[in-house]
Structure 1
Amino acid sequence: MSALALRGPVWVTVRRHRRPLWGALALLVLSAATVIGLRVWTASRQAKCPDGDLTACGDDIFQYSDAHRTSLWAMEYGATGMVVTALLVAAFVAGPMVARDLESGAYRMLWTQSATPGAWLMAKIVVPAVVVAAGVGALAGVYRWSWTYLAEGEGGFSALSWHDPFTYGAIGPASVAYALLAVAIGALAGLLVRRTVAAMAVAGLTTGAVALLMAGAVREHLWPVQTVTGGRATEALTSSWVTVDGMLTASGERLDWEPCYSPARAVEPAKCMAERGGVTNFADIHPSSHFWPLQLVETGIVLGVAALVTVAAFFVLRRRHA
């Protein structure tokens, strides 16, 4: 037991922030228990079809049980919370953990008690990194377990599509990578800003900006898309992540739908595209089989950025407190 005991700056960090750490553990257990409970409740409701429909298979009516609808709602908002967690982690590390010591001058006392500046910063990074990696990883596993079951149903609940930004960020290893990046950004922001509230704002906004950039402009390019045409392109609109769609001319030129939805055009979009020379539909898609390649590539990139930000934090510490 003594070999595993926390010592030095790590012990001090855990001791000083034990209440938020216990609070995070309680929130983790509550979240996981809620998801597991809803999953068990949903599975216990009698359904007449494998996809969860309570009505007869093959009819025109689709009806979920109250348990299923509640689970869908909880998963949607829970996934949003999982993504927001990274922003909260960044703000906490930047403010209460790093900037507060610098702003109050407490670091002078800590550094004179056999703790070097490097050991102090290492503890500020390692403690939250271990906590969020374990906690977010466990919760992502629980969310994926429940999502896999719920996503098999029908009913048009598109918010649980695997490529929805919030769902995507909650059911794979990228969620852990973003949490670790948040720790690194928080540490660097705390060292640079040195004011608790300002550092929290900078870290949270920076982490959010990185996540938005990845989701909105980078993610779709991390793995080659598949191009489908004809009926497959139409089917892909509801079953895959469509990045580009339109029509092809006889020569293979791509036509975008957007000009045909202009209010200035009096004809229907399909007729408009035909007048422009469109002969068949096309779509560039990421099918569900691309989930893991996209996740793994994005995870690697984010972890690489986190490592660079961590190195930058130690560089700033050395330059300012050598």
Structure 2
Amino acid sequence: MSATALSVSPTSSRSPRRTLVRRPRGLIWTVLRLHRAALWTWLAFVVVTAGLLLWLYGPGATAAQQEFDRYGYYVPNGWSSAKNAYDLLFYRPAGFIHVATFVVPLFAASALVGRELESGTARLAWTQSVSPARWLAVKLAVPAVAIAAGTGLLVVLYRLLWTARNGLLYAGHAPQELYFQVGPATVAYPLLGLAVGALAGLLVGRALPALAVAVAVQYVITSLHDHLWPFQHLALFSSFPDLAVRGGAHRTYLPSPDYWPRQLLETGVVLAVTALVVAVSFHVLHKKVSAA
């Protein structure tokens, strides 16, 4: 037997099996597994809402556009017309996004943070190789990525729908409010809700009481958001600073010159408050760990 043959071990001829796709490991994988039901629910919400937006952009607008091309805005039997039905459905995704924004802090306060503190799971993780700061960072980062990606996609689709089909809407405050509320700030608000919910969970330390606190705080935030810009005092048919309407039977909504200043200001303020709440959350966590 040659020396070459002797130098080859029985297992050396077998190449190790390599995994082509690696699963997330460690704390990230734990968070994904622990909250997989919430993740799948969020994914289903994004898919359904995106599907509705795409339908409104495409085949859902066909009948309404045909009525509009034939009759203009004064469609016979308007309340039962395809155009009126389309007008009502146009705002439905905004309602879905609003509800989702309200639900995010409730999830963060109860399931994401409060339940783990109440059950002792969090402290058990802290005694292992996971530091409290890293635990909270991953707890916030994983849902934040999912929330920002999903909401961002819906905002892009909504703006695409608005650009293509806003001329079918009946004039009034509803299209004006939708125009100003769907933008970058729409992505920032659920992130603020996530931070507020996590802080409530840390402060209270129990799932149900933290849930109640999150409901109260989110109600205040929603109320402030609804009154941030005084829509009711703005004339829809003026050319500045709101949406202007031109033409007789065929009216077109014009982009308002103050849309982006409003959106950027509101988004910046919300993100700054979010960062402040996150910093307070880490401070509260540090105090909680030090007192233990």
Q: Same fold (TM over 0.5)?
A: yes
The answer as to whether partners of 1:38 and 1:67 remain within 8 angstroms in 2 is no
The answer as to whether partners of 2:106 and 2:211 remain within 8 angstroms in 1 is yes
* Distance in 2 (alpha carbons) for counterparts of 1:88 and 1:187: 13
The answer as to whether partners of 2:236 and 2:242 remain within 8 angstroms in 1 is no
1:236 alignment partner in structure 2: 238
Query: Aligned match of 1:111 in 122, 126, 130?
Result: 126
Are residues 234 and 103 of structure 1, via their aligned partners in 2, closer, same or farther at CA, if it must alter by over 3 Å?
A: closer
Query: Aligned match of 2:204 in 190, 193, 217?
Result: 193
* Distance in 2 (alpha carbons) for counterparts of 1:296 and 1:20: 30
Q: How many residues align?
A: 259
RMSD: 3.1
Q: TM-score, normalised by structure 2?
A: 0.78
* Distance in 1 (alpha carbons) for counterparts of 2:137 and 2:238: 48
The answer to whether residue 22 in structure 2 is matched with residue 10 in structure 1 is no
User: Residue deviations 1:181-221, cap 9 Å, x none?
Assistant: 011101111000112122122123212312322431x4459
Q: CA deviation at 1:38?
A: 2.5
* Distance in 2 (alpha carbons) for counterparts of 1:176 and 1:3: 30
Q: Return the letter of the residue paired with 1:145.
A: L
1:30 alignment partner in structure 2: 48
Query: Aligned match of 1:160 in 170, 175, 178?
Result: 175
Q: Which runs of 5+ in 2 are unaligned?
A: 1-18, 245-254
Q: Which runs of 5+ in 1 are unaligned?
A: 227-232, 243-286
Query: Relative to structure 2, which stretch is displaced further, 10-19 or 202-211?
Result: 202-211
User: Residue deviations 1:137-195, cap 9 Å, x none?
Assistant: 1011112222233322353354222x35xx633x2010111011011101111000112
User: Residue deviations 1:48-81, cap 9 Å, x none?
Assistant: 6xxx624356xx8346795543332223232122
Are residues 56 and 85 of structure 1, via their aligned partners in 2, closer, same or farther at CA, if it must alter by over 3 Å?
A: closer
The answer to whether residue 188 in structure 2 is matched with residue 177 in structure 1 is yes
The answer as to whether partners of 2:83 and 2:168 remain within 8 angstroms in 1 is no
Query: Aligned match of 1:204 in 197, 201, 215?
Result: 215
Higher helix share: 2
Query: Aligned match of 2:149 in 134, 149, 152?
Result: 134
* Distance in 2 (alpha carbons) for counterparts of 1:85 and 1:234: 28
Among the aligned pairs, what percent are the same residue?
Answer: 36
1:272 alignment partner in structure 2: none
Q: Return the letter of the residue paired with 2:221.
A: V
Query: Aligned match of 2:38 in 16, 20, 41?
Result: 20
Query: Aligned match of 1:75 in 90, 93, 102?
Result: 90
Secondary structure in 2 matching 1:140? helix
1:230 alignment partner in structure 2: none
The answer as to whether partners of 2:64 and 2:86 remain within 8 angstroms in 1 is no
The answer as to whether partners of 1:87 and 1:207 remain within 8 angstroms in 2 is yes
* Distance in 1 (alpha carbons) for counterparts of 2:236 and 2:31: 55
Q: CA deviation at 1:22?
A: 1.0
